[in-house]
């Protein structure tokens, strides 16, 4: 699934410029918004067996218009300064779009985590966290990393532990998000990006008029979906869409892809991959596709690239059969590819919106850490008692007594997971309304990405007005 060199910064800047041209914002302010404020490039030695390996790593902070800065850390052989800078810029626009009050950042460690033991990975991660701390590049009010490609809750707990050892304090655990729930994490963070993809697509598909223009029926139910990338984002997106009536017809991974127009069960596919080490030979009526990238060209209604950047370009954009492309990955579609898709009447749902669920729930985790209280702890029982009182009055009034199951459904007070998911859904619905409204209002703008960029740029610009300029 690897792609040739992709000019990621060039792509993000092109998208930015296309949108900026439709605004009346001062040129200097636009230049400041676009610029990456700081990048820390580091090299450090890590002892692997009897050898010393020099590890290259990065952390880019794109914008300090809101603090802290925020964004994941990716472990990948392809990590580079250009890549983290492009990803950090996307984080700025993403956070602004969904009203998460952070600047954008991103980190990368240039390793293939599969080639390291757990102990070695721990050493690399802790050393990276230590380097960040030494240069004041991490902290609950400074820069707050999170999981990205190749990292998860385990890495975040190592980062937290390293940071807290050197900087103890009541808010110290807010230095990183995506932590295990037992270590200050929030329920629902692991699946948040995938769940956000589902909420976003569900919202988009609910507009009858928009669906008609695409030649589709309204509603996500019954839609045929191909997912590229079966990692944390792609897997949960597939599972939640499947559980809510969507039909997952194709799954692509780097070793190959499988396709079944009748539908695949994401849980069974994951189990098969875990057991055999490959997605191929899944059976159950699915056909194997050896050339993984060509799976993107199979028939479906919605195509969800959830792996890496630059997978849909001018080379394959004309062969895509989907009517909607949901960018769950960051930067999966190149500007030339996007142009072809838009011309063909295909709707591209931009990354900065569709995958914002991860950072949104990271924001909730950070709030939980700073407030030192679990969501739902203060009001769950109170709400439950109030609902029970109301229900009692209704039962008296109507003469009908509800069953215990019905009562539970009506009076249930929100647990942490309920509150997190409802906050996430509200965020995805609210942000889409802003993008759609902007698209309707702007003249000569025909795609959701340009509209989304316009919304973000205006928000960041308003944060700069009259500020940060020293005479
Ligand atoms: N890595 C995720 C992203 O690209 C999440 C970042 C975060 O939670 O800070 O949006």
User: Is the CB of 177 inside a 6 Å radius of any atom of ligand 1?
Assistant: yes
Distance 148 CA to ligand 1 centre (A): 6
Q: What is the pLDDT of residue 4?
A: 59
Q: What is the pLDDT of residue 1?
A: 47
Q: What is the pLDDT of residue 318?
A: 98
Residue pair 309/334 in contact by the 8 Å Cβ criterion? no
- State the pLDDT confidence band at 131, using cuts at 50, 70 and 90: very high
Helix ranges restricted to H, 41-136: 81-97, 118-134
pLDDT at 191 over 90: yes
Atom of ligand 1 nearest to the CA of 178: 8
Q: What is the pLDDT of residue 5?
A: 77
**pLDDT average, residue stretch 55-83:** 97
Q: What is the pLDDT of residue 468?
A: 63
* Angle between helices 192-205 and 232-243 in degrees, nearest 10: 50
**pLDDT average, residue stretch 397-419:** 95
Distance 127 CA to ligand 1 centre (A): 21
Atom of ligand 1 nearest to the CA of 330: 4
What are the structural domains, with CATH classification, of the chain? 1-35+186-376+414-471 (3.40.50.720), 39-183 (3.40.50.10860)
pLDDT tens-digit map of 350-387 = 999 999 999 999 999 999 999 999 999 999 999 999 99
Atom of ligand 1 nearest to the CA of 362: 8
User: Is the CB of 71 inside a 6 Å radius of any atom of ligand 1?
Assistant: yes
Q: Is residue 40 packed enough to be buried (19+ CB in 10 Å), middle (13-18) or exposed (0-12)?
A: middle
User: Is the CB of 146 inside a 6 Å radius of any atom of ligand 1?
Assistant: yes
pLDDT tens-digit map of 251-262 = 999 999 999 999
Percent of the chain at pLDDT > 70 equals 98
Q: How far apart are CA 283 and CA 288, in angstroms?
A: 9
Q: Which of 303, 404, 419 is nearest to 360 (CA)?
A: 419
Q: What is the pLDDT of residue 2?
A: 47
Q: How far apart are CA 74 and CA 105, in angstroms?
A: 12
pLDDT tens-digit map of 221-275 = 999 999 999 999 999 999 999 999 999 999 999 999 999 999 999 999 999 999 9
What amino acid positions are annotated as catalytic residues? 106
Helix ranges restricted to H, 372-466: 380-398, 404-411, 416-441, 448-464
- State the pLDDT confidence band at 464, using cuts at 50, 70 and 90: confident
User: Is the CB of 337 inside a 6 Å radius of any atom of ligand 1?
Assistant: no
Distance 275 CA to ligand 1 centre (A): 29
User: Is the CB of 330 inside a 6 Å radius of any atom of ligand 1?
Assistant: yes
Residue pair 301/323 in contact by the 8 Å Cβ criterion? yes
Please tell me whether the peptide bond between 68 and the residue prior to it is cis, using omega within 30 degrees of 0: yes
Q: Considering only CA atoms, which residue is closest to atom 8 of ligand 1?
A: 359
Best of 75, 193, 364 to mutate for ligand 1, by most ligand atoms within 8 A of CB?
A: 193
Residue pair 51/27 in contact by the 8 Å Cβ criterion? no
């Amino acid at each position: 699934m690897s792609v040739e060199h992709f000019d990621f910064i060039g792509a993000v800047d092109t998208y930015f410029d296309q949108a900026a041209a439709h605004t009346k914002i001062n040129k200097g302010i636009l230049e400041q918004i676009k610029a990456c404020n700081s990048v820390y490039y580091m090299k450090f030695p890590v002892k692997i067996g009897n050898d010393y390996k020099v590890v290259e790593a990065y952390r880019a902070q794109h914008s300090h218009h809101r603090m802290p800065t925020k964004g994941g850390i990716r472990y990948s052989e392809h990590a580079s300064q250009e890549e983290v800078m492009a990803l950090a810029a996307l984080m700025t626009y993403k956070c602004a779009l969904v009203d998460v009050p952070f600047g954008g950042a991103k980190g990368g460690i240039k390793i293939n985590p599969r080639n390291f033991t757990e102990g070695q990975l721990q050493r690399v991660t802790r050393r990276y966290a230590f380097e960040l701390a030494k240069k004041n590049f991490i902290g609950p009010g400074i820069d707050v990393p999170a999981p990205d490609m190749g990292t998860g809750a385990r890495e975040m707990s190592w980062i937290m532990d390293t940071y807290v050892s050197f900087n103890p304090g009541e808010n110290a655990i807010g230095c990183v998000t995506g932590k295990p729930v037992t270590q200050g994490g929030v329920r629902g963070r692991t699946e948040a990006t995938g769940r956000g993809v589902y909420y976003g697509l569900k919202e988009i598909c609910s507009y009858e008029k928009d669906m008609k223009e695409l030649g589709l029926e309204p509603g996500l139910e019954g839609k045929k979906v191909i997912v590229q990338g079966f990692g944390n984002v792609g897997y949960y997106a597939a599972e939640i869409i499947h559980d809510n009536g969507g039909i997952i017809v194709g799954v692509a991974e780097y070793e190959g892809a499988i396709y079944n127009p009748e539908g695949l069960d994401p849980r069974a596919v994951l189990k098969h991959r875990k057991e055999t080490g490959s997605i191929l030979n899944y059976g159950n009526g699915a056909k194997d596709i050896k050339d993984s990238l060509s799976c993107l060209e199979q028939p479906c209604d919605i195509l969800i690239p959830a792996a890496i950047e630059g997978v849909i370009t001018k080379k394959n954009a004309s062969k895509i059969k989907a009517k909607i492309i949901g960018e769950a990955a960051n930067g999966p579609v190149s500007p030339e590819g996007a142009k072809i898709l838009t011309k063909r009447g295909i709707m591209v749902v931009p990354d900065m919106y569709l995958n914002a669920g991860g950072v949104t729930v990271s924001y909730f985790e950070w709030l939980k850490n700073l407030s030192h209280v679990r969501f739902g702890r203060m009001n769950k029982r109170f709400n439950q008692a109030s609902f029970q009182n109301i229900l009692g009055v209704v039962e008296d009034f109507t003469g009908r007594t509800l069953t215990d199951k019905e009562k539970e459904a009506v009076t249930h007070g929100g647990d942490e997971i309920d509150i997190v998911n409802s906050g996430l859904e509200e965020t995805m619905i609210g942000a889409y309304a802003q993008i759609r409204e902007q698209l309707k209002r702007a003249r000569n703008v025909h795609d959701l990405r340009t509209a989304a960029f316009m919304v973000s740029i205006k928000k960041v610009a308003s944060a700069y007005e009259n500020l940060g300029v020293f005479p």
